[in-house]
A = this chain, B = another copy of it.
Amino acid sequence: MNKIDPAFSDRPRRKRTDEIVDAIKRMIVEHGLAPGDRLPQERELISQFAASKGTVREALKALEVQGLVSVRTGPGGGAFIERMSEGRAMSLLSNFLFAKNLSIANIYEMRKALEPQLAASAAAHIDEAGLTRLEHIITIYDHEPADAAERWNQRMAELDFHGVVAEYSDNPILAFTCRFLQRLLKDLTIAQDIYLQPEPVSRASGIGHQRDLIAAMRRRDPAAAAAILAEHMTEAENHMLSLQAQLQDKFLEEIHPSRTVRRRSS
C-alpha cells in the first residue's frame, strides 16, 4: 500500500478527524466514486483507519455538511456519495456573506451585469415548454394584488420568473449566480420591507419587459433578450432604491416623531 500522506508532523499536529476526512476525500477521487456509490461501512472505516467510532462519525459528519456524502441507516445503509444541492451551496455562501452587509445597490450592480447575459444564453436554448412556464408565472402578477399577502406572493413570483429563465442557460455558474442573487433579494430584510410597500416595482413596466422577453426568446433573438433585461434591471434598481430612500425617510420620522403614527410589523 502506497500512502500519499501530505500530513507531516511538524505542523501544529493535525487532528485525527481531519486526517480521516482527507483520507476519505482521497479515497473518493482515487476510486472515482460517483453519486450513488457507497463508501465502506462505519465498521470497516473504523478498522481501516484504526480509529474509534466517534472519530469516524465526526469525519463523516464533516463530509455530510460539505454535501459530499449522505448517510442512511438500515441494512445496505452507510455513507453514499452525493452531489451538493444548489440550495445547500447557497446556504453555505449565505453564511459567508452574512457579515458583509450587502446593500440593494450591491446586488443590483451584479444583476445589471449578469441578467442580460443570462437572458441571451437562455434565448438560445429555451423550448416551448419553458416559454409556457414563463407565461404562466406572469399570470400570478398580471393584476392588482387584493391584499398584502398577494402582493408578497407577486413579488416572489417575479423573482421566480428570472429563476426559470436561469434554468435554460447553458452556463452553470452564471445561472447559479443569478439565482443566488434572486435568493438574496428574497432574504434581505431591507428588501422584504420594500416588498411590503404598495408598489415595489412598477408592475406594468415589469410585465411589459417580461412579455417582450418571452417574444424575443420565442424568435431566438439573444441580443434583443439581453437588451430587454438590461433595461428591466435598470428600472427595477431605480425603483428599489427610491423605495428604500422612502423607507429611510419614514424611519427618520420615527426617530424624530412630530406627530407620526408608528406602523411597522415584524
Contacts and interface: CB of A to CB of B under 8 A. Distances in A.
Interface of A: 1-3, 17, 35, 54, 57-58, 61-62, 64-68, 83-84, 86, 88-89, 92-102, 106-107, 109-110, 113-114, 117, 121, 171-174, 176-177, 181, 184, 187-189
Nearest to A177: B177
A150 B87 CA distance: 41
Nearest to A96: B89
B58 A84 contact: no
A65 B98 CA distance: 16
A99 B100 CA distance: 28
Contact of A172 (B62, B89, B97): B97
Contacts of A106: 171-174
Nearest to A98: B1
A182 to B, nearest CB: 13
A107 B57 CA distance: 37
A188 to B, nearest CB: 7
Given A106-B173, A172-B100, A174-B109, A93 B95 contact: no
The residue among A174, A181, A187 with the most chain B CB atoms within 10 A of its own CB is A174
B174 A110 contact: yes
Given A1-B94, A93-B89, A95-B84, A110 B173 contact: yes
A174 to B, nearest CB: 6
Contacts of A98: 1
A43 B127 CA distance: 58
